[in-house]
Structures are given as structure tokens and as C-alpha cells.
């Protein structure tokens, strides 16, 4: 990682000012920020409460850049502190890990209430109608409506599967429900993550299951 961070720092060494902006605290997003800050002299902007953040951001806070302002938008679900950033000058939205550039799902199992938060965040993004969304992983999403539909449909299908499994196996624990939802052929290496994801879905259903 060190070589990568040094290479990144070298690309901005001629800039008058550099700002580091974090969407959330997962290691693949935030771990290199302190070193990059030391190499560039840049302040780290990100959700309040994260280690290493110099400028704590809340909903509506602005990070000014030479390409236009970035306005923080609280979009929890992937993590409780997750921020997206509105780039109004380009009618664009930086969405961190709320979406991925490919596929139809992202990690939503981090904390109690994450599924409801995630669905509400998708609704907020849908109402904004951006022209393009920039996820951290993968290519730009140039048809945001289609992407939102795809990710929401996947999550609601999983919710429906969890609900049916709970109805059909009312005495089953998470392990029993896991086979009912994902099938007995789920690779062992994925079982832990699937268990956490299903647990979040089950909690959502038990809490009323509506957003």
C-alpha cells in the first residue's frame, strides 16, 4: 500500500491545495488517509467520529474544490456514518459504497437498523435524480435510475425471501434460515457473511419490514 500512496501523492504534488475526502471508515477507504495527509499536507475531511479526520462533516457541510463544491449527504446503510457527496456543478453524486459500479448489491449488515437505513438512503438518492453516480468501486453509473432500481430490487427480493423463510420455518434459528434462503450449497467461505446479511434482513422483518 505504501508504494500506491506515494504514487498517489506524487500526482498532486504540483497542486496549490489538496483535500482528502472520506465517505466512511472502512479500511479500504480510510486506512491510507493519515499517510497521504502527511505526504501532501492535506486535511482529511470525513464523517465525524472517524479516527484521523481533521474536518468533521455533517449533512450539508461543504468541501470546496477547484471543480466545484461537494456537499455532504448522509446516506447510512453500508455503515452508520456513510456520506455521499453532491457535485452540483456536474449534476453528479459520489456514492462511496452505497452502490458498486457493477452487480446489484453492496454490503448491508454492519449494524442494527442498517437495512431500513439503506432503503431510506436509496429513496433519498432517487429523489435527487442525479445524472451520474460515481461509486468508489467500479465504473460510473451513467443510468442512475436503472442502478437504483437494480440495487433496491435485489434488497427487497432478499427481504421477501427472509420473510417467507421465517413464515415457513417459525422455529428455525439463523443457521436453519440460512439454508432456506441461500440453499445448502452455499460455499463455506461465504457462510459467515451470508449469516450476517440474513441476520440484518431478519431484524428488519421483525421490526415491521416496511420502508
Predicted confidence (pLDDT) at residue 169 exceeds the cutoff of 90: yes
What local confidence, expressed as pLDDT, does residue 58 receive?
96
> What phi and psi, each to the nearest 5 degrees, are found at residue 201?
-65, -40
Residues of the chain with CATH 3.60.15.10: 58-206
Three-state DSSP string of 41-63: CCEEEEECCCCCCCEEECCCCEE
Identify which has the larger pLDDT, 61 or 6.
61
Lowest mean pLDDT among 25-39, 72-86, 109-123: 25-39
Kindly state the average pLDDT of the residues 60-73. 96
pLDDT in tens, 3-23: 888 888 888 888 888 899 999
Tell me the CATH number of domain 58-206, given options 3.60.15.10, 1.10.3720.10, 3.40.50.2300, 3.40.50.970: 3.60.15.10
pTM of the model: 0.94
Picking from 48, 50, 68, the residue whose alpha carbon sits closest to that of residue 58 is: 48
The whole-number pLDDT of residue 8 equals 81
Q: What is the pLDDT of residues 171-199, one digit of tens each?
A: 999 988 998 888 777 788 888 999 999 99
**For the segment 73-115, what is each residue's pLDDT rounded down to a tens digit?**
999 999 999 999 999 999 999 999 999 999 999 999 999 999 9
Amino acid at each position: 500500500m505504501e508504494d500506491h500512496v506515494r504514487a498517489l501523492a506524487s500526482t498532486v504534488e504540483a497542486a496549490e491545495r489538496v483535500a482528502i475526502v472520506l465517505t466512511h471508515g472502512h479500511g479500504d477507504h480510510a486506512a491510507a488517509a493519515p499517510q497521504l495527509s502527511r505526504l501532501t499536507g492535506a486535511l482529511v475531511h470525513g464523517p465525524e467520529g472517524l479516527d484521523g479526520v481533521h474536518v468533521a462533516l455533517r449533512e450539508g457541510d461543504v468541501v470546496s474544490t477547484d471543480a466545484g463544491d461537494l456537499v455532504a449527504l448522509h446516506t447510512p446503510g453500508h455503515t452508520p456514518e456513510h456520506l455521499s457527496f453532491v457535485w452540483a456543478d456536474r449534476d453528479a453524486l459520489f456514492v462511496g459504497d452505497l452502490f458498486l459500479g457493477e452487480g446489484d448489491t453492496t454490503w448491508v449488515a454492519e449494524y442494527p437498523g442498517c437495512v431500513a437505513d439503506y432503503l431510506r438512503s436509496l429513496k433519498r438518492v432517487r429523489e435527487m435524480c442525479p445524472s451520474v453516480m460515481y461509486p468508489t468501486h467500479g465504473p460510473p453509473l451513467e443510468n442512475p435510475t436503472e442502478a437504483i432500481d437494480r440495487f433496491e430490487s435485489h434488497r427487497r427480493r432478499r427481504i421477501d425471501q427472509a420473510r417467507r423463510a421465517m413464515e415457513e420455518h417459525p422455529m428455525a434459528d439463523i443457521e436453519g434460515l440460512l439454508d432456506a434462503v441461500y440453499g445448502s450449497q452455499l460455499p463455506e467461505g461465504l457462510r459467515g457473511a451470508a449469516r450476517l446479511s440474513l441476520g440484518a434482513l431478519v431484524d428488519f422483518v421483525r421490526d415491521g419490514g416496511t420502508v
